[in-house]
Amino acid sequence: MNASERPEPPTVADERTGLESWLDFHRATLALKCEGLDDRQLREVSVPPSSLTLLGLVRHMAEVERNWFRRVLGGEDAPPLYYSDDDPDGEFRVTDRDTWDDAHAAWQAEVAAARDAVRGRSLDDRGISPRNGKEFDLRWIYIHMIEEYARHNGHADLIRERIDGMTGA
């Protein structure tokens, strides 16, 4: 994907279209930040002592998509992909065995599952977090997901600039 292929959110839209468009924009932004890098570069840490990597961010966003759309909204029993009770930050711990192809496929599968989970639902539809028992409507989930991607895309900007000097987009 290049910057010209990233979907621009409409400047005038109904609430649902606006929320979905901004979420898709931020999903595409993370993919763009990873574009053209090899597995070694995607595992390169940002600034020691931080262990944050682009590959770790992609794995994290697969987990976030899975949690909010499948577990909370859909009520599915979808076990974690990368973390565990013993290693709650496991998605960020990447090794030489972890690849972009695997992480990207998992992330895209979760994005597709998220799109399926919202199809035909109202922004007022609710799900319950298995973590804390709180109720969340789809509107809140969309807003939270946009915030989550925006925050991590800022991290991705800095990591990418450190790797090869690319800025913008």
Between the alpha carbon of residue 112 and those of residues 47, 53, 106, 166, the distances in Å are 32, 23, 10, 29
What class, spelled out in words, does domain 3-164 have in CATH?
mainly alpha
pLDDT digits (tens, 9 = 90+) for 9-66: 999 999 999 999 999 999 999 999 999 999 999 999 988 889 999 999 999 999 999 9
pLDDT digits (tens, 9 = 90+) for 136-157: 999 999 999 999 999 999 999 9
| CB-based contact 81:91 (threshold 8 Å) | yes
Segments making up each domain of the chain, as ranges? 3-164
In order, the DSSP letters of 100-133 are HHHHHHHHHHHHHHHHHHHTT--TT-EEE-TTT-
| CB-based contact 60:91 (threshold 8 Å) | yes
Tokens at residue 79, please?
A: 């076990």
Q: How many Cβ atoms sit within 10 Å of the Cβ of residue 2?
A: 9
Q: Which of 100, 6, 116 is nearest to 59 (CA)?
A: 100
Half-sphere exposure of 18 (CA within 13 A, CB side): 8
| CB-based contact 25:6 (threshold 8 Å) | yes
